Amino acid sequence: MTKTTVTQLFFAVLAFAFVAPSAEAAGGAPAGFRKGARILFQGDSITDGGRGPIDDLNHNMGHGYAYILAADFGAHSPERNLTFFNRGAAGNKIPDLLARWPNDTIALKPDVLSILIGINDVWHNLDAGKKVPVEEFEQAYDKLLADTVAALPGIKIVLCEPFMLPGTRTKARLSEWLDALGKIQQIVAKLGAKYKAPVVHFQKMFDDACDKAPVEYWIWDGVQPTPAGHQLMADEWARVVRTFWRK
């Protein structure tokens, strides 16, 4: 082999290394998702995403971040035969989630469970002129996670931080929103550490996004994300989860 040929081969390999996408860069499912894994998204209306009947495969994942992730992972990792479920329910607070947990979570026997809850625990109580029940929130969430780990040993849990921005639904009592939601966010981080689960910090993500576009571009009313906001959520969820279960 001549010196020229060796040089050409070296640069060809180098170029391929820079151009060829990895499975992760191409949108493949996280390494921790085994073949045949069942992935469940739980929460309130942000997860619900206007989902249709369970047996309607065109609509049962809703039209939010859960749908985007299911489409991404399913399309780029077909060999893993992953199954996705969405059981988000509009208006849910932590007591609602706890009440339906046996049927809507444990009975589905997920291998991966993602939870986004807490915004309504703040919103509904502030609107009703009530104190946000922070201690009760933590106790109920802790019980929910403890029951899950006991019933489904080996389950992988992803905790998502509830979030908000100054919008039409939040501006009038912004300081109260920030104070109450900040406490809920701290609880989610605390439970993530306790149960060794990745925490997806959506608040900072949305705060940073507002440097690029106005609040309404990402979250139209201060609570509910736009399509662009849901895409950001899906990207951040995938980034955090891939990083956590890379090892």
Segment 224-235, tens digit of pLDDT = 999 999 999 999
End-to-end, the C-alpha distance of the chain in Å comes to 40
Locate 91 and state its tokens: 């208006």
- Domain that residue 181 falls in: 21-244
139 located within any domain: yes
226 exposed, middle or buried (CB, 10 Å; 0-12, 13-18, 19+)?
middle
The confidence score (pLDDT) of residue 213 equals 98
CB atoms within 10 A of CB 210: 15
* Total of domains in the chain: 1
pLDDT at residue 127 in the model: 84
**Does 27 have pLDDT greater than 80?**
no
Write down the pLDDT at residue 22. 38
Residue 175 in this model has a pLDDT that exceeds 70 = yes
- Confidence at 24, pLDDT banded by 50, 70, 90: very low
Residues 117-154: tens digit of each pLDDT: 999 999 998 988 888 899 999 999 999 999 999 999 99
pTM: 0.88
- The CATH number given to whatever domain includes residue 53 is 3.40.50.1110
Residue 17's pLDDT band (boundaries 50, 70, 90)?
very low
Residue 4 lies in a domain: no
Let me know if residue 181 belongs to a domain. Answer: yes
Q: What percent of the chain has pLDDT over 90?
A: 80
Tell me how many degrees the CA angle 72-58-77 measures, rounded to the nearest 5: 25
93-108 pLDDT, tens digit per residue, is: 999 999 999 999 999 9
Helix, strand, or coil here: 37? coil
pLDDT at 192: 98
The pLDDT of residue 130 is 86
Phi/psi at 85 (5° precision): -130, 145
Give the per-residue pLDDT at 20: 38
Average pLDDT, rounded, for the chain: 89
Q: What is the pLDDT of residues 35-89, one digit of tens each?
A: 999 999 999 999 999 998 878 877 889 999 999 999 999 999 999 999 999 999 9
Is residue 198 domain-resident?
Answer: yes
Q: Please check whether residue 14 lies inside any domain of the structure.
A: no
Evaluate whether residue 1 is within a structural domain: no
Residue 2 has a pLDDT of 52
Residue 197 inside a domain? The answer is yes
